[in-house]
Structure formats: C-alpha cells, structure tokens
Amino acid sequence: MVRMGLEEVARRMRQAEQSVGRVAGATKLIAVSKSQPAEAVREAYEAGQRDFGENYVQELADKAAQLADLMEIRWHMIGHLQTNKVRQVVGLAQMIQTIDRPRVASEVAKHASAQAQRMAVMIEVNVGGEEQKSGVAVGEVGGLIEVVRSHASLDLRGLMTVPPFDLDVEQTRQVFDELRAVRDAHGGVGQLPELSMGMSHDFEVAIAAGATMVRVGTAIFGARARTV
C-alpha cells in the first residue's frame, strides 16, 4: 500500500514537472513519516524511498533506532526545533529544514562542530505573515542567512516554508512564488539551490512554482493516527 502511494505521488510529481517544462526528477520527494510506524518507513525504503521527514525529535530518535539497519536512509528534521533538542537532532538527521532564528542556528553549529560534522540546513521562512506560526519573517531572512553563513559547520542549502492551512490554491501559489522571490532576492539559485515547499494537498502547485523538494505524508502513507 505504501508502495502504491509512493508510485502515485511520483507519477504526479513527474506530470507536474512536465507540465511546466521542468526536467523530470527536478523535485525530490521527502516522505513525511510523522505518526506513522517504523514499519511503514521500512516499506517505503524497500520500495526505493530514501528521504524521510519527521517533526518531533523523540519520534525521530525512536524510528532511527528501529531502522538503524537501513544504511542509506536520510532523515530531514521538518518540525519546530527547540534548542534543548538540537544536540540529539544533529546526531540523527542528515538535514535540518527548520532553522528559524539565530539562536537555533548557533546551537546547531555548535553541536555539528562538536560532532565533527557539517550540517545541511534550510532556513524556514514565514511567508504568510502573522497567520503563520513558524519561520523567520521575510524581512529578517538576510540577517539569518548571514548568521548561518558565519558558521563553518553549517551548509546552507536553501529555504523552506509551510503556508497557512486555510488558503485556496491561488493564495497558496502566491506563498510559493514569494518564497522563490525571497530566494532570488538573496542570491538566487546559485546561493540557495533548494526550495522546500508543497505537501500532500498542494505539491503540484509547489512544483510549478519551482520547488526542489516536496514534503508529502498522507498522500503516501494514508491518514495519520493523530493530528499533528
């Protein structure tokens, strides 16, 4: 069942790429496995999926331990990050997508350095303004980029956003276009190659707007046991 979900999402991704003239495979799929059992992740891995997103540090730690035999798995932290959990995440994740304030950037840098790692990170941007709870304000992105770049143990890959949930397609498209504009205002694709945007209900819109990563949960795994 997970395999079918993955195949269907991949098919829709290729179709969305093609319909706007993007190269097939230009967008990477992050399978969001929060509140799904480790066995579902294993099933997806066996079907060829390698990148997985988790929102909660403890859940990530539990699953990573249960799936330690999957040598090529890559975990992406996509949930709000508390500074007291940073050390653990740095040891587990291959990418942290939710850097949203200088303090978190410094904390990640400190632990990455202590663990002799260079951590791939994305800055989470609050494009929707005050309706949105997480992410750095658009006007503060430049300052946060400078902070991230000042740490040799951080490898800034791009920008990420989560639009407010109650938007219609047109409003969602505007949010994605704005994230892309923020990227262009800060050096463009050469400086910030990745744009992480789009979820189960809007990943095709995100691909049309230039996403390089979409984060898809329910369209692959089915409904979550609890709402998060």
- Applying CB under 6 A, the residues found at the interface with ligand PLP are 32, 34, 55, 78, 162, 199-200, 215-219
DSSP per-residue string spanning 104-143: HHHHHHHHHHHTT--EEEEEEEETTGGG--SSEEGGGHHH
State the distance between the two ends of the chain, measured CA to CA, in whole angstroms.
22
Nearest residue (CB) to ligand PLP, 151 versus 205: 205
C-alpha–C-alpha distance, residues 2 and 35, integer Å: 14
Nearest residue (CB) to ligand PLP, 79 versus 210: 79
Closest contact distance (angstroms) between CB of 199 and ligand PLP is 4
Nearest residue (CB) to ligand PLP, 76 versus 151: 76
The residue whose Cβ lies closest to ligand PLP is: 217
Nearest residue (CB) to ligand PLP, 129 versus 142: 129
Closest contact distance (angstroms) between CB of 215 and ligand PLP is 4
Residue 109 class from Cβ within 10 Å (0-12 exposed, 13-18 middle, 19+ buried)? buried
Amino acid at 83: T
Q: Under a CB-based contact definition with an 8 Å cutoff, are residues 186 and 216 in contact? A: no
Closest contact distance (angstroms) between CB of 205 and ligand PLP is 13
Closest contact distance (angstroms) between CB of 5 and ligand PLP is 11
